[in-house]
Structure 1
Amino acid sequence: MPIYQAGSLNQTALTAPDLYVGIVPPKTRYINGIATDVLGIVGIADWGPVNSAVLIGSASDLTQKFGTPSVRKYDLCTAISVSIQVGAANIRAVRVTDGTDTAATATLKDTAVATGVTLTAYYTGITGNQLSATLSAGTAASSWKLVVSLPGLTPEVFDNITGTGLALWQNIVNAVNNGQSGMRGPSQLVIATVGVSVVAPATTQTVAFTTGTSGNTTITDSVLVGVDGVVGTGRKGMYALRSSNAQVANLVDVTDATQWPTMATYGLQEGCYMVTQGPAGASYSTVSASLTTAGVDNYCMKVMVGDWDYWADQLNAQNRMLAPATFAAAKLAALNPSLSILNKQIGNIVSTQRNLTNQAYSGAEIGAINTARLDVITNPCPGGSYFGGRSGLNTSSNSATNGDNYTRMTNYLALTIAANFGSVVGKLQTVDQRREAKNTMSSWLQGLKDAGMIGDVNGGAAFSVQLDSGNNSDAQVALGYETADVQVKYLSVIRFFLVNLEGGQSVSVTVSNTPRA
């Protein structure tokens, strides 16, 4: 009784009489949307991998992988700390350098002061200069123990290493680089290489690491934007976020408008909402002129006015002025993609440049900012005395596509479809195949409607999926094409709430008992 998967047996060419059981997959698959809370951040640090998108989900992740906030421009750790406080909990962080970064090193010596092992910091940066390593007697008799320490992290202990002469030094290297089976894994702080020594180590030696540099001397906005290339070799800066599923990105403190077209193009390619800003103190008219000159007019770019925000840096005991995109991008990533940051409270802002001077924005100024396709964080907001976004707009001049919610929902829908329907390629185009693809897509969209993410408030259809002979002609089918036409109705973000008030002693009030939707 052969058992086979549907499609793997030629039923028209059977020769052996038998019972054949075919396993048929469900006609309708159920899919889940991709994560929409992934925030990409690019900046500088003194520790951690370079030009690699690293997952950060908590403050402890940040400390272990990149370090702590520093008071400087482009600081990656500061932007991550702020983002976590604002609500982003699924971050892909990219560290960049100017190419001059080096890893700290230290050497373990033998009794003749010859090098037995060279230890090199796992990452480049000045944080590596805080490393220390101690080689001493091990717990077991006639063994050695190596302890590698970095302040703020749990020390790494490699115990009961045995051997003599060159074999001992090689065993130390193997323990550090490969881990000790059943005891601990490889070091995440250092890499070891064997030296020239063939005699015993000097007893109980502690060595400090030196010569580590961060490569932060000549950083410019263009370094954070980076260059595209091949995975693992050529991609730098922003381009290291490719395929990371980051749907919102913040290049820390970037204000150079000549970089905006490149950022906008990347956003369109990757389905990523690029959030940036004008220089600190730049008025909305100045930033608007820069946007016009840059020629950026699409839904994947958001530009904040140069009214920078203040954040209470507890570690460095000061209120620091930070770029507004750091707060706006984190808030966008934390929100449901059907929402915008318009009138949404953004926490952990102490003040803004305008607030410090007691110059509240007038209605005319807010209107001008909206007309200029910009956004700004202000206090108060329409909803109360809190800091929040006042336009919820991207840089598109098309009113049908210029909302935060359009960018986020469009990218979410497109990326989810791309992630789940690639399996259709290579199948035979049949009635059952069309029905399966259509039903799968419709079921997912119905789930979005039920969750209140899409719909028509006035009672119309929330979506439609057409995948049949009506949009797949014989000529297209013969050439290997299959087309699914999908329409989705987004829920509208309320930008203007109009209340018609009629009051007076002579007013006649009529109450209807029949509610309307």
Structure 2
Amino acid sequence: MPIYPAGSLNTAALSAPDLYVQQVPPKTRYINGVPTDILGIVGVASWGAVNSPMLIGSPADAALKVGVQQVRKYDLATAIAVSIQLGASNLRAVRVTDGTDAAATTTLKDSAATPATGATLTAMYTGSLGNTLSAALTAGTAANSFKLIVTMPGVQPEIFDNLVGSGAALWQSLVNAVNNGISGIRGPSQLVVATVGASSLAPQLTGGTQSVTFTGGSDGAAGVTDAMLVGADGVTAPARKGMYALRGANAQVVNLVDLTDSTQWPAMLSYGQGEGAYVVTQGPAGASYATVSGSLNTAGVDGYGLKVLVGDWVYWFDTVNGQNRMLAPATFSAARVAGLAPHLSVLNKSLSNATGTQRSLAQQPYSNGEIGAINTARLDVITNPCPGGSYFGHRSGLNCASNPAQNGDNYTRMTNYLSLTLAASFGWVVGQLHTADLRRQVKSTIESFLQNLVDQNMIGDPNGGPAFSVQIDKQNNPDSRVALGYMQADVQVKYLSVVRYFLINLEGGQSVSITVANNPRS
């Protein structure tokens, strides 16, 4: 009784009489939506890989991978701290430099009268955080052995024990342990790399220990520009820089920290719509909505992949540096967008960590006319009060598309969410035979996914109409197309509308006549 996976047996050409069993996988498939909370942030840092997305999910992660926040432009650690406070906890941080960044180093010396270098230790990454590293070489636990301890504040010390050998062999043993780990005991260092020196003598131990500190680490941040944050695209990952390093990281919201150069906006919009991401940016600090609107029109940017805020920057209290700092509004906006489900808008949602804005601290609240002009200009602004109360929040919830059917935050987010989910879920169809069963299977899978969204109140028609339709039949798959290898699914989805204007008609007075129905119905 042979057993075959379905599709591996030619059932039309059997020759030996027997019982044949084919293992058929379930025909009903279910798909889950892609994550929508991944926030990509690009800026400068004092530690970490350059032009490579780093996964950060907590303040501790941030301290270990990019360092603590500093009072400077483009600071990645600051943007991460703000974002985590606003509920964005699935971050992809990309560090950029101006090319002058350097890794901190130190040397371990031998016992010669004029000490020679036995091994050079270099920080794993460039950046000033590497200057906090230190190392100590002491006697090991085993007899006639040595122990190397590498430390960085806030990080578990790395210990390489029982290093043996004589002269040059000992130094090589130390280098191998640091770079490759010690088999069965520990892995390679995550803080430093080692290179062997010219010494052939034993280490110098003063008082039983040789202690060294690292120097020379620099961030390469002083010369960074807005254009460097956008970076350059490339066919392969190592060639990608800045924003383009986020390709493939599944970041559906992107913040290029403190970027205000409107000449970069077209590239940002193109990236957003091509990658299925919502890129958030702003005008320069203090720039009015009229100025930013002019820049938007001059740049020729019109599409749902970019959100632009006016130059009313936001204040935030930095507990690390003990001061109230003025930060770019996109840092707050992008984090709030990423922290919401894709069918929701940031309109009228509270920003709990904002302490003020330039306009609010100057006691210059926006008039309804100004808010209307900002909406008409395809911009957004963070201000206080909001329609829901005295808190800081967004007053438009719009992207920079001029098409009113596409200009809501929820349109961008839901369109990207549905597109990326479907794209990630049906690659298995390619290579299958185009059959009626395949059509039914694909159709039912899509319908099942969309029905789940209806049940979660993420899509629908409040007036009772259908929320979606899926067509895969002979009407949209004629023989002429099927013969060429095409299979087409036409999917329509009705998004829930965001309430922007709530109108209450109040009739009051002593002469008002009120009639109450006996059987009121909603």
TM normalised by structure 2 equals 0.97
**Letter in structure 2 aligned against 1:254:** L
Match of residue 8 from structure 2: 8
Distance across 2 between alignment mates of 1:232 and 1:246: 15
What are the residue-to-residue correspondences of 1:66-145 with 2, within 5 Å?
A: 66-112=66-112, 113-145=115-147
Please tell me whether residue 199 in structure 1 is matched to residue 204 in structure 2.
no
Match of residue 298 from structure 1: 303
| Superposed CA offset, 1:115-150 (max 9, x none) | 211111100112112211111111222211111111
Distance across 2 between alignment mates of 1:17 and 1:171: 66
Alpha-carbon distance, 1:213 to partner: 1.8
Alpha-carbon distance, 1:100 to partner: 1.6
Please tell me whether residue 445 in structure 1 is matched to residue 450 in structure 2.
yes
SS in 1 for 2:331: helix
SS in 1 for 2:507: coil
Structure 1 gap ranges (5+)? none
Please tell me whether residue 261 in structure 1 is matched to residue 245 in structure 2.
no
Match of residue 149 from structure 1: 151
Distance across 1 between alignment mates of 2:399 and 2:518: 42
Distance across 1 between alignment mates of 2:293 and 2:417: 28
What are the residue-to-residue correspondences of 1:115-514 with 2, within 5 Å?
A: 115-203=117-205, 204-512=209-517, 514=519
Of 149-158 and 38-47, more deviation after overlay is shown by 149-158
Distance across 2 between alignment mates of 1:504 and 1:205: 91
- Identity rate of aligned residues, in percent? 69
Of 122-131 and 150-159, more deviation after overlay is shown by 150-159
Of 175-184 and 65-74, more deviation after overlay is shown by 175-184
Distance across 1 between alignment mates of 2:303 and 2:219: 36
Distance across 2 between alignment mates of 1:115 and 1:329: 49
Query: Which runs of structure 1 show a deviation greater than 4 angstroms over 4 or more consecutive aligned residues?
Result: 513-517
**Letter in structure 2 aligned against 1:79:** A
Alpha-carbon distance, 1:107 to partner: 1.1
Match of residue 59 from structure 1: 59
Alpha-carbon distance, 1:57 to partner: 0.3
SS in 2 for 1:392: coil
Alpha-carbon distance, 1:217 to partner: 2.1
Distance across 1 between alignment mates of 2:241 and 2:347: 33
Alpha-carbon distance, 1:513 to partner: 5.4
Report the count of equivalent residues: 517
Distance across 2 between alignment mates of 1:354 and 1:217: 29
SS in 2 for 1:260: helix
Change (3 A) 1:104 1:515: farther
Distance across 2 between alignment mates of 1:485 and 1:147: 62
Distance across 1 between alignment mates of 2:429 and 2:521: 43
Alpha-carbon distance, 1:187 to partner: 0.9
Match of residue 45 from structure 1: 45
Distance across 2 between alignment mates of 1:45 and 1:514: 66
**Letter in structure 2 aligned against 1:335:** L
Change (3 A) 1:87 1:228: same
**Letter in structure 1 aligned against 2:68:** T
Distance across 1 between alignment mates of 2:520 and 2:261: 53
Distance across 1 between alignment mates of 2:32 and 2:58: 25
**Would the aligned equivalents of 1:338 and 1:491 in 2 still touch at CA under 8 Å?**
yes
SS in 1 for 2:419: helix
**Letter in structure 2 aligned against 1:193:** T
SS in 2 for 1:196: coil
Distance across 2 between alignment mates of 1:2 and 1:387: 69
Of 192-201 and 343-352, more deviation after overlay is shown by 192-201
**Letter in structure 2 aligned against 1:140:** A
**Letter in structure 1 aligned against 2:139:** A
TM normalised by structure 1 equals 0.98
Structure 2 gap ranges (5+)? none
SS in 2 for 1:145: strand
**Would the aligned equivalents of 1:28 and 1:437 in 2 still touch at CA under 8 Å?**
no
Distance across 1 between alignment mates of 2:202 and 2:382: 64
**Letter in structure 2 aligned against 1:386:** Y
